[in-house]
Structure 1
């Protein structure tokens, strides 16, 4: 008994083998922890891949929708969303099953919902069976802070039909029913609808989604261009020079004794004329004589006829003046009323009676007076001739303070050098340039190609000049040939050059009122030749964040960064002429960018325009501005297409053969400018 008790006591106090029992008991919670980790990892992986597929589907659907509607093209956007989802998630992946997904759209935002089921692999032992995994996603097209500058070709050829290959220069300066300029207006309005989410007057095939109006910094600017650009009145007064040189004329005078007055002479009666006023009175007997022997004796008794001019002299009238030699002769008339007395006799031999009879008639004496006035001389300068040549004029009178301008100025270019009103429509002459064919790099002294140089007040090399066509003359010699020599003549020469000025450009601004945007485009006129360089130069200047409008362009109102886009559209090759008044003067006479020693040919000028255009393309792209280039119509040569393609930012060149394609191009650009993003 004692031995048995001792064994049990020893067994109780012996701890050998306890670890194994405890390890066996710990296996259950450890299995739960490891199994839970495995299943949670599977759920997380499924959820992550499901979210990625949902996001991809929403983005694909929103991109397919573009600026159109969700249901357009047989629900193509929804189809694209579903296909993208399926391409990114297999519903059997990772043990998932019973997958479901759907995409909807509201106010421009695409929303996706996706669900799958996942069976637990380990946690089923602990009573956890199936897990439902669900995700949501949203995608929308949003506008970052954006500035868009349109540089639009508004040359005469934009009046031509938008289809066909028949040559057309300007369609008689009348818009065809399907004119390219009309297609351009439509495309830009639809671009506005797409980007600004506001309805224009154009039928763009869809309506911007309600409630999607842009609240970001979004501005549009315009530079219509042809031979010139109309930007002058957008500039501060200090950016325009006070004095500018024009191909004009100067009146030349000579000293001469000039009659400035006359010393009055003494009036004198030069002569008189008489005329009757009314008819004769009836004859009446005024005397009767008897015992008159015969008729002759009776006649001897007849009084003499006479005129009684005792009436008062009337007021002078009929004044006139002329010169004879240097004398001035003044003439005038007066009238004096009187009576003509006319006597006759009547004789009776039977009674030896002689009667004296009288009739009267009113008489007017017209007296002519004259006065000879002696000249008073003074030596003066008088007109002699015109010298047709370059003339520097003070044009500061156009400045009205700040950025306000007068529309005209008086210059001494009128008849015989008199001041006459010269109007300014806003087109400008460019500042200093250089004569070169090498623009890589752009010469430092070529201020005209410097996008950001701010003019220095008082330094005309850095400033611009007003383009004043009515102050400009070409000139030609006695053989009718153009010449750069001074031409002296008293005649008014004809202006042997042509001139056009485009519609006024617009700085970058918000266009929250669609009717204002529409009205600007509707007013664009197509006229003039094609000078691509000047349009691009000013598009860059008005868009640059570091140039003449830095204070307006550097950042958004909140200080945020801005995406900048320049859209350049043209319908043709460069077209130049040496007889046009351009931003570099009348090219034949001024020769500011071609050889000074010979007249430029059209080839010379075209080469200059193209070289400067391409130099400006590179300068714009170097400023981190996206440069979109659109060629419009079938009239653009292969060489110009190459230049336009090289001008554009890589992948940003479009070629539209008609208005429908142009609209599609502009809409595509707008969609690319919009940023596709996930909103949830």
Structure 2
């Protein structure tokens, strides 16, 4: 037994000792690997370019030493080294020597451990849509700086941070989209006649409606009247020349004039100042003429009359405009020539020729119907030319004392502008400013799930059917009225307030130069009310990998996945106004949001906003920033966990954007 026991002691010690020492080696190697990983991660994060600087090296070594203490393992000869390749990948190696405690008695020497580690900015393809509040409150100041100016600085900081992280990375695509929102959004760059879908993500204007219902007004012309004499629009003026020759020669008729006494014409008969001779016009030929009683020939020095008038049904010409009757003919005279001619070669002063032009113009009484009152009601307007950048001619105001139409009826402002020969109408032209009314929706109090009839909350599908098409806003042709019923009145109702973001939405695209990015951001201007749901709807539309932008958004150009982020910023709670023209028309008239719910419009807009956030959660990273206000309510619950932030001043806002940029450009371990 003693012999057997003695023989077994050595193997048993070997087994136990190897288990102890091997466990120590594995623990040390695991810790060394973790320290190596931490070191290269810290070093790569400290690299602002592809160069492994001394600052980055110090950061890497400090992180390695923090995570591996040689005394914990009685290790010796511990080293950590790292170097960066041409693309900025940081490769590291760590080594140390672990002494054998038990196995040393059996002749086993110390164990050297070597581990490798690498870190890189492994940014996937990234899509970022900035949904930015450009409402009127963004003109307020915090610390002497306008909030809109702070927003611009922070957004440009974000671009700089991503650009720095991307240095040397030629494999990753980063795209930015913008939705500046207030009570509406501007789609003038998104919907165009010749869209560039592949590069700019533009859509044809056929995604906008062809005929649009506008809360407008019609002018009722039902008051008959008889007005002034006007040229008969159905009659064309006629002209002819008359030549008068001295001498009582019948062969010269019908273009012969003689004095009333039948004697030959004297010098004065064709002079500028004629004699008091009787006058008539042959009603059959309009050519056989006695000289009129004129104190001056028409075309002379302006003395006397150059017109004569013959009332309808009369054969007598008179020197004054008729005061009654249904119409008359006016004859106007102009001298063509008055020349002396000799008689058989002898100047006997007995032969003189005069030519004059006579113009007959028919006049009738102006009759028709004058303005009676307005009816404020919906009007159908064709938008085909308007949505494509053309103009709509409309009547912006009416002189109710002078305006008239030939036929009684009700006329909208576009119809009136097309009427010819009208007075008392002030015509203007409307051009689409790019802002959009949302498509068909339904008034609901809850949005879980989102109702199918709420087409506006569908952020997947484009405007491929009439109920799904958007509407180009027509503020010029919109007037307010109280309630949904038609309103007939002689009053000029007010127009709704309106604010269209100056900067148009931009779909996802690359910005290879900083100047292109900053130029757009600096174009942002503040105006209007806060409709959070309008901004979020369009943010989701631009970034969604489905529906109308699927061909652009599903995968990256290298076939890689896309990391999608919406950065949503506002400086206040939802604010709506019943008398504002917004993406949902004028609420006090159309009630597209409130309907008969009895719930305030602002509350319903907030619920719609929350429903949109919930619908896409997990597929799109949603970051929410409350600027100059508390990050509570919708802003807190809309954002992903840990991604709702509050910024109380410019510095904090820039820090918030920097934090998001760092997390978007996620630093990931390669090996």
Common fold: TM-score over 0.5: yes
Q: Per-residue deviation at 1:142?
A: 2.6
**1:444 and 2:452 aligned:** yes
Q: Per-residue deviation at 1:264?
A: 5.2
**1:655 and 2:622 aligned:** no
After superposition, the C-alpha distances for 1:218-257 in whole angstroms (9 at most, x for unaligned) are 2111100011111362443342221110011335567999
**1:578 and 2:573 aligned:** no
The aligned residue for residue 394 of structure 1 is 382
The aligned residue for residue 225 of structure 1 is 181
- The answer to which of 110-119 and 607-616 deviates more is 110-119
Aligned partner (choices 94, 109, 125) of residue 114 of structure 1:
94
The aligned residue for residue 131 of structure 2 is 151
Structure 2 counterparts to residues 478-627 of structure 1, below 5 A? 482=482, 484-488=484-488, 493=492, 495-502=494-501, 503-595=503-595, 604-621=600-617, 624-627=619-622
SS in 1 for 2:605: helix
**1:96 and 2:75 aligned:** yes
Counterpart Cα distance in 2 of 1:321 and 1:571? 77
Say whether the 8 Å CA contact 2:97–2:112 is kept in structure 1. Answer: yes
Structure 2 counterparts to residues 362-377 of structure 1, below 5 A? 373-375=361-363
Structure 2 counterparts to residues 203-214 of structure 1, below 5 A? 208=164, 211-213=167-169
SS in 1 for 2:511: coil
Structure 2 counterparts to residues 407-418 of structure 1, below 5 A? 407-409=390-392, 413-414=413-414, 416-418=416-418
The aligned residue for residue 41 of structure 2 is 59
The aligned residue for residue 250 of structure 1 is 218
The aligned residue for residue 675 of structure 1 is 666
The aligned residue for residue 133 of structure 1 is 113
Counterpart Cα distance in 1 of 2:636 and 2:172? 31
Say whether the 8 Å CA contact 1:312–1:337 is kept in structure 2. Answer: no
Counterpart Cα distance in 2 of 1:590 and 1:68? 56
Counterpart Cα distance in 2 of 1:578 and 1:330? 62
Structure with larger Rg: 1
Structure 1 residues 614 and 37: alpha-carbon distance in aligned structure 2, compared to 1, 3 A threshold = closer
Say whether the 8 Å CA contact 2:393–2:414 is kept in structure 1. Answer: no
**1:183 and 2:147 aligned:** no
Structure 2 counterparts to residues 351-370 of structure 1, below 5 A? none
SS in 1 for 2:215: strand
After superposition, the C-alpha distances for 1:60-110 in whole angstroms (9 at most, x for unaligned) are 4555x49799999x96x7676455434532313444223233667787655
Say whether the 8 Å CA contact 2:332–2:360 is kept in structure 1. Answer: no
Structure 2 counterparts to residues 260-279 of structure 1, below 5 A? 260-262=233-235
Say whether the 8 Å CA contact 2:91–2:119 is kept in structure 1. Answer: yes
Say whether the 8 Å CA contact 1:260–1:377 is kept in structure 2. Answer: no
Counterpart Cα distance in 2 of 1:124 and 1:266? 134
Q: Per-residue deviation at 1:585?
A: 0.6
Give unpaired runs (5+ residues) of structure 1: 1-19, 165-177, 198-207, 270-305, 339-366, 400-404, 476-481
After superposition, the C-alpha distances for 1:322-367 in whole angstroms (9 at most, x for unaligned) are 97564364645659999xxxxxxxxxxxxxxxxxxxxxxxxxxxx9
Say whether the 8 Å CA contact 1:429–1:585 is kept in structure 2. Answer: yes
Say whether the 8 Å CA contact 1:120–1:131 is kept in structure 2. Answer: yes
Say whether the 8 Å CA contact 1:67–1:667 is kept in structure 2. Answer: no
Counterpart Cα distance in 2 of 1:542 and 1:37? 60
The aligned residue for residue 296 of structure 1 is none
The aligned residue for residue 470 of structure 2 is 464
Counterpart Cα distance in 2 of 1:321 and 1:674? 91
Say whether the 8 Å CA contact 2:50–2:167 is kept in structure 1. Answer: no
Say whether the 8 Å CA contact 1:159–1:180 is kept in structure 2. Answer: yes
Give unpaired runs (5+ residues) of structure 2: 192-201, 243-265, 274-296, 310-320, 340-354, 395-411, 420-427
Aligned partner (choices 42, 46, 49) of residue 31 of structure 2:
49
Counterpart Cα distance in 2 of 1:311 and 1:421? 54
Say whether the 8 Å CA contact 2:133–2:571 is kept in structure 1. Answer: yes
Q: Per-residue deviation at 1:180?
A: 1.2
Structure 1 residues 660 and 552: alpha-carbon distance in aligned structure 2, compared to 1, 3 A threshold = same
Counterpart Cα distance in 2 of 1:51 and 1:417? 81
Say whether the 8 Å CA contact 1:252–1:384 is kept in structure 2. Answer: yes
Counterpart Cα distance in 2 of 1:321 and 1:337? 21
Structure 1 residues 593 and 69: alpha-carbon distance in aligned structure 2, compared to 1, 3 A threshold = same
Aligned partner (choices 475, 479, 484) of residue 473 of structure 1:
479
Using the size of structure 2 for normalisation, the TM-score is 0.69
Counterpart Cα distance in 2 of 1:508 and 1:188? 15
Counterpart Cα distance in 2 of 1:152 and 1:321? 74
Counterpart Cα distance in 1 of 2:308 and 2:122? 84
Figure out how many residues of one structure are paired with residues of the other and give that number: 547
SS in 1 for 2:611: helix
Using the size of structure 1 for normalisation, the TM-score is 0.68
Structure 1 residues 316 and 386: alpha-carbon distance in aligned structure 2, compared to 1, 3 A threshold = farther
Q: Per-residue deviation at 1:398?
A: 4.1
Q: Per-residue deviation at 1:548?
A: 2.6
Structure 1 residues 644 and 79: alpha-carbon distance in aligned structure 2, compared to 1, 3 A threshold = farther
